Amino acid sequence: MSAEHAYAHDSHAGGHVSPVSLYITIFLALMVLTGVTVAAAFVNLGQFNFLVAMIIACFKASLVIWYFMHVKYQSRLTKLTVATGLFFLAVLLGLMLVDYGSKGFTPMPPPTDSESVIGAH
């Protein structure tokens, strides 16, 4: 059964329609940033290699969330919900780092053949 248009049509009821050019722009930005991530990985930045890769990835994810997932055009309640999820992810990662960081979070001494890989800490 097909949806009949026997009701008063409200052009705003369906939500925001983004222009195609915006989607193309976001797509190109994501592709370029992927290239930047790969290129940056081949430059020795010491500890900052990881940081650069993660900052770019977070920026790419933000573009997808904001434009492809239409969060930009959603209600404040939805925006708050999304932020809540990211907040709890930060809590998960952050508190784990704090916990391990307080216990000498450094590379493990390589295990010898006689000891188990896990449980040496």
Residues 27-86 close enough to bind another protein by CB under 8 A = 27, 30-31, 34, 37-38, 41-45, 49, 53-54, 56-57, 60-61, 64-65, 67-70, 74-75, 77-78, 81-82, 84-86
Please report whether residue 4 would count as binding another protein according to CB under 8 A. Answer: yes
Closest approach, Cβ 45 to another protein, in A, equals: 8
CA dihedral 37, 41, 44, 46 (to 10 degrees): 80
Contact 11, 23 (CB under 8 A): no
What the block records as the tokens of 51 is: 């940081």
* Alpha helix ranges (H) inside the chain: 20-41, 48-63, 76-101
What the block records as the tokens of 113 is: 């053949």
Residue ranges in 87-116 that form contacts with another protein under rule CB under 8 A:
88-89, 92-93, 96-97, 100, 105-108, 110-113
Among candidates 40, 35, 39, 29, which has minimal Cα distance to 64?
29
Size of the residue set binding another protein (CB under 8 A)? 71
Closest approach, Cβ 114 to another protein, in A, equals: 11
Closest approach, Cβ 102 to another protein, in A, equals: 14
